Amino acid sequence: MAARKPTRQTIAFGQEVIRLRHEKGLSRLELAEGAAVSRSYIAQVENGTTRCRRDFALRLDDALRTGTALTDTWDDILKSSAHPKFFADYSEAEATADLLRMHAETFIVGLFQIKEYAHVLLPSPDALESRMKRQQILEREAPPRVIAVLAEVVLNRLVGTPEVMFRQCEHLLEVSERENVTLQIAPTAYYRGISGTFSIATQPTGEELLYQEISTGGFTSQEASDILHCVGAFAEMQARCLSVSDSRDLIRRAMDRWRL
């Protein structure tokens, strides 16, 4: 297939090919020989400049001995989305972003949720699997920069059992130690311009996509006015947040409460 302009979907698929190839210690040439194609075609797939067919994803899995990992990724990203329709565009933007800014007002952000916590919130095993797969972007070779602000209330809202909450807070502490993550807690207060949970994904090109939650689901927007509003409100809120160190102390105190 002829090379074309990369899309969020093809870039996300290509990054997964790169990740698995590196895990197996193979060069592009070695993978090309195993899949019986040219090295340049592997480069096009990895760079996202071509949309390969599903049968080629099967050949890649065979060459890499990865079971159905890439075939499943093809089904999730290039054929359809395991996310609700209102979230599909943002999940693709999130997968290829260089910078993610997130504010969570009700629950822990999805990228930081442990499986037991997410299980309580999600309606089906497929939705749970999808959320866990989303978190793989934090494990890739060049993970995005993540700046997350959590409302204080999310540490105190029981989701599941006290044990689940203890382990969830413990996981937040671990995540906050990553070099690419800035995690802060917003004390309970009024913050101008903030009226719900939202996330902004910024691409290497500077393109941005906004996702906002509402009671019936959510919506995405590329409107400059919407994004500027949330960027400004996020910056003002962040200025009033606890420091990273003080935020960790607050999470530890929450852990102590849930431990009892």
| Section 240-260 average pLDDT | 96
Whether pLDDT at 234 is above 50: yes
Kindly state whether residues 43 and 67 are assigned to the same domain: yes
Strands of 208-214's sheet, edge to edge? 181-186, 145-151, 99-104, 198-202, 208-214, 217-221
Q: How big is the chain by its Cα radius of gyration, in Å?
A: 20
Whether pLDDT at 127 is above 50: yes
Residues spanned by the domain of 43: 8-79
3: left (phi over 0), alpha (psi -120 to 50) or beta: beta
Q: Which residues pair with 101 in a beta bridge?
A: 147, 200
Per-residue model confidence (pLDDT) at position 95? 85
Q: In angstroms, rounded to a whole number, what is the distance separating the alpha carbons of residues 236 and 216?
A: 27
> Please, which pLDDT band fits residue 3 given cuts at 50, 70 and 90?
very low
Which of 50, 79, 108 is where one domain is finished? 79
C-beta neighbour count of 90 within 10 angstroms:
23
The rounded mean pLDDT for the chain is 89
C-beta neighbour count of 173 within 10 angstroms:
15
Both tokens assigned to 247? 């935020």
DSSP-assigned states of every residue in 194-258:
--S-EEEEE-TTS-EEEEEEETTEEEEE--HHHHHHHHHHHHHHHHTSPPHHHHHHHHHHHHHHH
| Section 149-163 average pLDDT | 97
> Please, which pLDDT band fits residue 194 given cuts at 50, 70 and 90?
very high
Per-residue model confidence (pLDDT) at position 2? 35
Per-residue model confidence (pLDDT) at position 80? 54
Kindly state whether residues 204 and 220 are assigned to the same domain: yes
Ranges 107-111, 113-117, 141-145: which has the least confidence: 141-145
Give the predicted TM-score (pTM) of the model. Answer: 0.68
**239 CA to centre of own chain:** 24
**Which residues, other chains included, contact 189 with Cβ-Cβ below 8 Å and sequence gap of 6+?**
240
Per-residue model confidence (pLDDT) at position 87? 62
| pLDDT (tens digit per residue) in 57-102 | 899 999 999 999 998 888 877 665 455 655 656 887 888 899 999 9
Q: Which residues pair with 183 in a beta bridge?
A: 148
CATH code of the domain covering residue 57: 1.10.260.40
Which of 79, 103, 135 is where one domain is finished? 79
Kindly state whether residues 114 and 219 are assigned to the same domain: yes
Which of 52, 79, 106 is where one domain is finished? 79
Kindly state whether residues 70 and 91 are assigned to the same domain: no
The rounded percent of the chain whose pLDDT value lies above 90 is: 59
The Cα-based distances of 183 to 66, 227, 245 in angstroms read: 34, 21, 9
Per-residue model confidence (pLDDT) at position 1? 34
| Section 163-177 average pLDDT | 97
Number of folded domains in the chain?
A: 2
Compute the C-alpha angle 241/187/225, nearest 5°.
60
Per-residue model confidence (pLDDT) at position 10? 81
CB 243 within 8 A of CB 187: no
Per-residue model confidence (pLDDT) at position 167? 97
